Amino acid sequence: MQITITKSDKLKQRPDDSNLGFGSIFTDHMFNMDYNPEEGWHNPRIEPYSNIIMDPATMVLHYGQSIFEGLKAFKTNSGIIRLFRPTDNFKRLNISARALCIPKVDEDFICFALKQLLNIEKDWVPNAKETSLYIRPTIIAMDPFLGVRASNTYRLFIILSPVGAYYKEGFNPIKIWVTKNHVRAVNGGLGNVKTAGNYAASLYAGEEARKNGYTQVLWLDGIEHKYVEEVGSMNIFFVIDDEIITPGLSGSILPGITRDSVISLAKMWDLKITERKIGIDELVDAHESGKLQDIFGSGTAAVISPVGEIKYGKKVLTINNGKVGTMADKFYKAITDIQYGRAEDPLGWIEEVII
- Cα–Cα distance for residue pair 120/353, rounded to 1 Å: 11
- Cα–Cα distance for residue pair 160/30, rounded to 1 Å: 7
Nearer to ligand COI, 58 or 300 (CB): 300
Report how many residues bind ligand COI under the rule CB under 6 A: 6
C-beta nearest to ligand COI: residue: 70
For residue 254, the minimal CB distance to ligand COI (Å) is: 9
Which residues are paired to 316 by β-bridges? 311
User: Of residues 65, 216, 300, 305, which one binds ligand COI by CB under 6 A?
Assistant: 300
Tell me: does residue 140 bind ligand COI (CB under 6 A): no
| Piece of the chain touching ligand COI by CB under 6 A; list 30-38, 102-110, 293-301, 339-347 | 293-301
Query: What does the DSSP 8-state code read for residue 347?
Result: T
For residue 243, the minimal CB distance to ligand COI (Å) is: 25
Alpha-carbon distances of 249 from 92, 253, 277, rounded to whole Å? 14, 6, 9
Nearer to ligand COI, 137 or 308 (CB): 137
| Piece of the chain touching ligand COI by CB under 6 A; list 211-219, 262-270, 294-302, 325-333 | 294-302
| Piece of the chain touching ligand COI by CB under 6 A; list 182-190, 278-286, 295-303, 330-338 | 295-303
Task: Please choose, from the candidates 15, 18, 74, 25, the residue with its C-alpha nearest in 3D space to the C-alpha of residue 303.
Answer: 74
| Piece of the chain touching ligand COI by CB under 6 A; list 38-46, 120-128, 279-287, 296-304 | 296-304
Tell me: does residue 27 bind ligand COI (CB under 6 A): no
Tell me: does residue 66 bind ligand COI (CB under 6 A): no
Tell me: does residue 233 bind ligand COI (CB under 6 A): yes
- Cα–Cα distance for residue pair 251/205, rounded to 1 Å: 21
Q: Which of residues 193-232 bind ligand COI (CB under 6 A)?
A: 199
| Piece of the chain touching ligand COI by CB under 6 A; list 25-33, 39-47, 260-268, 299-307 | 299-307
Nearer to ligand COI, 236 or 301 (CB): 301
- How many H-runs (helices) and E-runs (strands) does the chain carry? 8, 18
Q: Which of residues 237-266 bind ligand COI (CB under 6 A)?
A: none
User: Of residues 117, 301, 307, 310, which one binds ligand COI by CB under 6 A?
Assistant: 301
Cα Rg, the chain, nearest whole Å: 21
Tell me: does residue 70 bind ligand COI (CB under 6 A): yes
User: Of residues 126, 299, 306, 325, which one binds ligand COI by CB under 6 A?
Assistant: 299
For residue 253, the minimal CB distance to ligand COI (Å) is: 14
143 CB contacts (<8 Å, ≥6 apart)? 58, 59, 151, 152, 153
- Cα–Cα distance for residue pair 155/163, rounded to 1 Å: 25
What one-letter code names the amino acid at 20? L
- Cα–Cα distance for residue pair 281/104, rounded to 1 Å: 42
- Cα–Cα distance for residue pair 165/178, rounded to 1 Å: 23
State which H helix or E strand residue 24 sits in. Answer: none
Query: What does the DSSP 8-state code read for residue 145?
Result: -
What one-letter code names the amino acid at 284? V
Residues near ligand COI (CB under 6 A) are 70, 199, 233, 299-301
